[in-house]
Structure 1
Amino acid sequence: MSSWSCTRGVPHIVVAAEFVQRNLTADNLTVDNAKNALIFYLVFTRALKAYRHVRARGIVSVVQDAYRWVMMRVMNLIISSPWVRPQVEAEMAKAKEGVQRSLVPHGAIRRLTLPAAGESLAQILAEMDEMDSAMPEHVDYREGKLSGAVYHGGEDMEEIIVAAFKRYCVSNPLHPDAFPAIRTMEAEIVSMCLHMYNNPTGAGATTSGGTESILMAVKTHREWASATKGITEPEMIVPESAHAAFDKASAYFKIKLHTIPVDLVTRQVDLKRVRRAINPNTIMLVGSAINFPDGCQDDIVALGKLAQRYNIGLHVDCCLGSFIMPFLEKAGFSSAPFDFRIPGVTSISCDTHKYGFAPKGSSVVMYRDAELRRFQYYVNPVWLGGVYASPGLAGSRPGSLIAGTWAAMHYMGEAGYIASCRAIVGAARHIAAAITAEIPELRILGSPPASVVAFSAVEGSGVNVLVVGDMMSKKGWHLNALQNPPGLHIACTRLTVAVKDDFVRDLKEAVREAKESPDGKGNLVALYGLGTSSAIGPTMVGTLINAFLDALYQA
C-alpha cells in the first residue's frame, strides 16, 4: 500500500484489524465477538467500495445509472410479457433477416467442403472473380470516400509490401533461431517507433493491431501493480472518448473501469473527475492523442502529473495518431506534448498499419523501460512441451507482416512521413475550416489537431446529423457515426486529399437534403434511433449486432 493511501484516511484493513484486536483479546474471545468482527469487516469494506464508486462516478451519474438499470428491468418485463413478446420477436426477426441478407448473398452457390482435388492458380483466380461478381458491390476505396479503414500508401507501396510478403511468407517470429532476419526487422520496427516517440532507451513489442497493443498495455500495468503494490482488485480510469478496446480489456482482465466524461467544448477528459476517481486500487490512467470519436487530444501533461503524484501508470493511445502526431511540428503544424518526454507517461500504443502505411494487422506497444515490458510477457518454464514464452497474446505470428511493415517504414522514411502528414492534416483542416465558415448548421467538435474532423448539428438548426450521414452514404461517402452527442467524423487519408473539396460540396448538399427530410429512414437513423429509443434500446441494438457477427461466419 502506497504512503499516499494512508494520507487519505487509514486503510480499511488497518481499521478492521484494530477492531478485531479490541474484540478478540484473551479475556473477550467469544463467538459473538468473532461474528461482530467479521460483520464489521464485511460492512466496512463494502461501504468503502461504495464510497469510492460514488466518488469516482459522482452522485448524479450513480443515480442515472440506477434509474437506467430499473427502467431496463421494467422494459424487459414488459417485452417478455405474452402480449408484447410475439410482436417484438417478429420485428427483431425481420431486422436480423435484413442484416443477414445484406451480408450473405442469396442464390450464390458456394463450396462448403474441401475440393476433391487441388486446384490450379488459374482455377483459384477464376473462382475469386466469380465470388467478387456474386457479392454486393465492393467499395472502391481509391475514390477517397472511405473514412479511415484503408490507409493506402499508393500502388508503389503495394508493390513493396507484396515483395516483402513473398520473400518471408512462411516465416514465424516464434522461432527467431530459424528466422533471424525477421527477429532483426521486428526489433528495428520497435526501435524506430521509440525514436519517433522520443524514448530511444525504452522498450516495446509488435502486435496484431491497436486493440492488442491496448490489451497488452492494460495487462502489463495490472501485473506491475500486483507485483509492486499488491493490488488484487485493480481499477483503471479512462476518458469516455477513449477507444472501446479499454472496455474490452476491462472485461477480459477483470479490471474495474471508471469512465470519465469529457468537456463539452474542449472534448478533453475532465481532470477534476479523473483525480477524484483515483484510489489505492488504481493501476493506470488513460489519455488519447488522438481519440477515435472526435480526433481530439487529452491534456497529457496534466495526466502525467497525476500519474506521477499517485505512482500509477499512464497509457497514451496514439493508435490513430500513429505516424501523424510525431511529425506535426516538422510538417509546420502546432502540437501539444503527448509522448515519452512527458514525465509520468509509462506506455504508448502506435498503429503502424494506419498512417505508417504498413499492411493491416500491425501495431507497436511501447514502454518507458524494459523492466515494465517484462510484465507483458507470458512464461511457462514447466510445460511438458518444453519451456514456453511469448511476448504477447499470440504464439505463432506471420513474419510476412513484420517484413511488410519494416519495408513500408524504410520505403517512406522520415521525409516521406513528414510530407504525408502535411498533406493529410492540411486536408483535414481545410474541411474543418469550410464547415465552420460555410455550413452554419454544423459545428466542429473540439479542436482536432491531426487527421480527424468530427461534427454535430447545431442545436435549433433543424438538422438531424444522422440523416446527414445517410444522405452522404447515398453520395458514396462512408463516414463514422458518433454518439453522445450524435455526430459524424471523417478520418482523412492520403486518398482524401484529392477529394476534400468534393466532400465539402457533398456535405453542403446533404445538409440541405436533411433539412427537407429531418426524419429520414436510413441505416444510421434506424440503428442509432433504436439505441436511444428507450432503456431497452441498447440491448436491442446488441441483439442486432450479435446477428451481424453471426452472419459474418455464415458461408
Structure 2
Amino acid sequence: MASKSLKQRLEEVTTGSVLDHIKTVVFVYVVLTRLVKVERHLRARGIATTFLEFWTWLNKNLLLFALRCLPAQRKKAEADIAKAKLTIESKLVPQGEAVTRHTSLPAKGHYPEWILNEMGKMDNEIGHAEWKHGKISGAVYHGGDDLTKVIVAAFERYCVSNPLHPDVFPAVRKMEAEIVAMCLRMYNNPTGAGVTTSGGTESIIMSVKTHRDWARATKGITEPEMIVPDTAHAAFDKAAAYFNIKVHTMPVDRATRKVDLNRVSWAINPNTIMLVGSAINFPDGCQDDIVALGKLAQKHHIGMHVDCCLGSFIMPFLEPAGFPVEPFDFRVDGVTAISCDTHKYGFAPKGSSVIMYRNAELRQYQYYVNPSWTGGLYASPSIAGSRPGSIIAGTWAAMQYVGYDGYLKSCREIVGAAKTIAARIKSEFGGKLYVLGNPPASVVAFSSYNPRCSIHEVGDIISHKGWHLNGIVRPDAIHIAVTRLTVPVVDTFIADLHDAVKEAELNPSGKGTMVQLYGLGKVAGALAPSISSQIATAFIDTLYKA
C-alpha cells in the first residue's frame, strides 16, 4: 500500500488539532461555568452555610442508607411514622361506628332541612374550636355577625357566577376590577395594576412567575435565582419548586429580625430575578427594611416583592391610626409587586387575595395566553380558569361595608391590643420571656430566656386552656396573631400565660410538641427531622380520608 502523501498527513494532523482544540474549549467552558456557579453559590450562602447544607445532605443520605441496610433502624423509623400517622388520623378523622359517613351519592336527593340537620350532627360529632372566644391566633378573621350576613347575601346573589365569562357576568367583572383598584389606592399606587387570586400563596406564586418571565424576556435569564429572608413565607419556596428557580435564603438579624442586607447584597448575581421582603412576616410579625431592599433592587434592575399578605388591611392604616411604621408600599422606589390578603384583616371571605404590580406592563408577564387552542383563543390572568364569582362579590361587599373608617378603627383596636401584649410580656415576664424584634402590627412572637423552660412546652400548657397559638423555630418561639376577637381577651391571655410559664418552670421536661405541621398544631414534635416530610405527606393524605 502506497504511503500517505505529505498533504494527507498535514490534513489529518490539522483535523485532529482542530478537534482537540474544540474539545479543550468545551472542557474549559464547562469547568468555568461550574466554577462560576460554585462562586455565586458561595457568595450567596457563605462557607459555613454551604458546609452545613452539605452536612445535612450527607446525614440525610446516610440515614436513607441506614434505613435500607439496617433492619432495626428501618423498623424504628417505620414505627415512628406509623405512630405519627395514627396520631394525625385520630385528630382529623372521626372514629367509631356511630359516625355517619357519606361516601357515595344518595339514591335520592335530600331536602334542605335534612342537609342542615346533618351538618349540625357533624359539628356535634366531630366538634370544632370555639373560635368566637378569641383564643385562636389568626386563622379566623371575623368582621362581625352583621358583616357575615352581608357576605352571605352576596354569595346567594352571585353563587353561580364565573369571572371566566365576563360577558355573562359583567357585574362580577366590575367588582373584581374595583377590588384591585381599591387595594392599589390603599397601597399608594392608583395607576398600577393587579389581579385577584385565591389567597396569599397564589398571589406569591403569581408574582414569582411574573418576575421569572419578565427576566427571561427582558434580560435573557434562563437559570433564574431569587433571594428571600429566612422569615419569608414558605410560598416563595413553593413557587421556586414549581418554576425551577434557585432560592438563596438569607439570615435575619437576631435582635431586629430584619434580613441581613449585607448578605443580600453579596448574594445578588446576573441570574437574580427578584428580592423579597415582608411587611409583616408570618413567624415573628416583624418588618424587613423595605427601603434598603428597594434600593438594591433598583441598583441591579431586578424585581422586589413586598409580602403584605398578613399585613393586609393593617399596614396601610398604621400611620393614620397614629402608630409608627417604616415605609413599605409602592412609595418605596424599587418595589415592583405587593401581595395583600383581603381575606385576613380585610374580613373578606376565604380565599381571596390581591397581587399588585407597579405597572400594567409587568402584570402582562403573569398572564397565560394560548392563541392556537382548538377550543378558541384561551387567556387567563392567573392559575385558575373558572373562579368563584361569589368570593369576589363577598370581598367587594365586605370592603364596601367596612369602609375606610371601619378599617382604621379595626387597626387601632387590633394593633393596640398587640402592643399591649408585647409591653406586658416585657414588663411582667422580665428574665423569663422576651419579644422577638420590634413587631409593628398585629403579630407578637416571644421566646424563653431559660433553656430549661421550653417555650414550646409553655405553648402546650396554654393550649390546655383553649388557646391555639403558632409555634415557630429558629429560634424556638410562640406567636399570637391578634384579631378583633382577641381584643377583649388580652387580660385573659396574659393571665393564662403567667400560669403556663409557672407550670413549665415547676415541672420542666425540656420538650414541647406544639410546632410541626402548619395548620395542625402538635403532632410530630419528637420525630427526627429526616422523616418529617413523610409525616407531612401522611397529614395531607389524611385530609382526604373519609
Query: What range describes the TM-score normalised by the shorter chain of this pair?
Result: over 0.9
1:378 aligns with 2:368: yes
CA distance in 2, matches of 1:548, 1:522: 20
Deviation at 1:74, TM superposition (A): 2.0
Aligned with residue 552 of structure 1, among 536, 543, 546: 543
CA distance in 1, matches of 2:366, 2:76: 50
Q: Distance in 2 between matches of 1:448 and 1:457?
A: 17
Q: Residues of 2 paired with 1:310 and 1:365: CA distance?
A: 23
Task: Note the alpha carbon deviations across 1:33-75, whole angstroms, 9 max, x for none.
Answer: 1111110010000110011001100001001111121122222
Q: Deviations over 1:471-509 (max 9, x none)?
A: 011010000000110000000000000001100110111
2-structure distance, mates of 1:293, 1:523: 17
Matches for 1:95-494 after TM superposition, within 5 Å: 95-107=84-96, 108-135=99-126, 137-440=127-430, 441-460=432-451, 462-494=452-484
TM-score, structure 2 length as denominator? Answer: 0.94
1:66 aligned onto 2:57: no
Deviation, structure 1 residue 459 = 4.2
Deviates more, 1:71-80 or 1:379-388: 71-80
* SS at structure 2 position matched to 1:248: helix
Amino acid at match of 2:35: A
Tell me, what secondary structure is at the counterpart of 1:232?
Answer: coil
Give the distance between the partners of 1:209 and 1:532, measured in 2 at CA. Answer: 28
- CA 382–155 in structure 1, closer or farther in 2 if over 3 Å, else same: same
Shift of 1:271: 0.2
Contact 2:513 2:524 in 1 (8 A): no
Q: Distance between the aligned counterparts of 1:307 and 1:377, measured in 2? A: 23
**1: CA distance between counterparts of 2:28 and 2:335?**
40
Q: Secondary structure in 2 aligned to 1:83?
A: helix
Quote the Cα distance in structure 2 between the aligned partners of 1:308 and 1:94.
Answer: 51
CA contact (8 A) 1:470 1:525 kept: no
Query: Which stretches in structure 1 are left out of the alignment for 5+ residues?
Result: 1-25
Structure 1 residue 89 and structure 2 residue 93: aligned?
A: no
Aligned length: 526
CA deviation profile, 1:307-335 (whole Å, cap 9, x unmatched):
01000000000000000000001111111
TM-score between both structures, scaled by the size of structure 1: 0.92
Cα distance between partner residues in 2 of 1:525 and 1:368: 37
Structure 2's unaligned 5+ residue stretches are: 1-13
CA contact (8 A) 1:532 1:538 kept: no
Q: CA deviation at 1:529?
A: 11
1:530–1:537 CA contact under 8 A, matched in 2:
no
Q: Which amino acid aligns with 1:49?
A: K
Q: Greater shift after overlay, 414-423 or 77-86?
A: 77-86
**Structure-2 separation of matches of 1:486 and 1:439:** 17
CA deviation profile, 1:112-148 (whole Å, cap 9, x unmatched): 110001111011112112222221x210110000000
Q: Distance in 2 between matches of 1:531 and 1:50?
A: 36
Q: 1:529 to 1:41 in 2, by over 3 A?
A: farther
How many Å separate the matches in 1 of 2:345 and 2:364?
A: 28
Q: Pick which of 272-281 and 119-128 moved more.
A: 119-128
Instruction: Determine which of 57, 60, 63 is the counterpart of 2:45.
Output: 57
Distance 1:51 1:131 in 2: 58
- CA contact under 8 A between 2:471 and 2:478: conserved in structure 1? yes
**Residue type at the aligned position of 1:397:** R
Distance in 2, Cα, partners of 1:70 & 1:379: 43
CA distance, structure 2, for counterparts of residue 188 and residue 294 of structure 1: 32
Give a deviation string over 1:171-194, Cα, whole Å, max 9, x none: 110011111111110010000000
Rounded Cα–Cα distance in structure 1 between residues aligned with 2:516 and 2:303: 40
Percent of residue pairs bearing the same amino acid type: 62
User: What secondary structure, in the 3-state scheme, does the structure 2 residue paired with 1:481 have?
Assistant: strand
Query: Do the aligned partners of 2:207 and 2:366 also contact (CA within 8 Å) in 1?
Result: yes
Shift of 1:30: 1.7
SS at match of 1:84: helix
Counterpart secondary structure, 2:479? strand
| Alpha-carbon distance in structure 1 between the residues aligned to 2:413 and 2:140 | 16
Q: In 1, Cα distance between the equivalents of 2:417 and 2:515?
A: 28
Q: Which deviations, in whole Å up to 9, do the C-alpha atoms of 1:436-460 show, x marking residues without a partner?
A: 0001211000000000000011145
Q: CA deviation at 1:388?
A: 0.4
Paired residues of 2:221 and 2:271 also in contact (CA < 8 A): yes
For 1:524 and 1:356, locate their aligned partners in 2 and report how far apart those are by CA, in whole Å: 28
> How far apart are the structure 1 equivalents of 2:389 and 2:166?
10
CA shift at 1:77, angstroms? 2.5
CA distance in 2, matches of 1:302, 1:277: 15
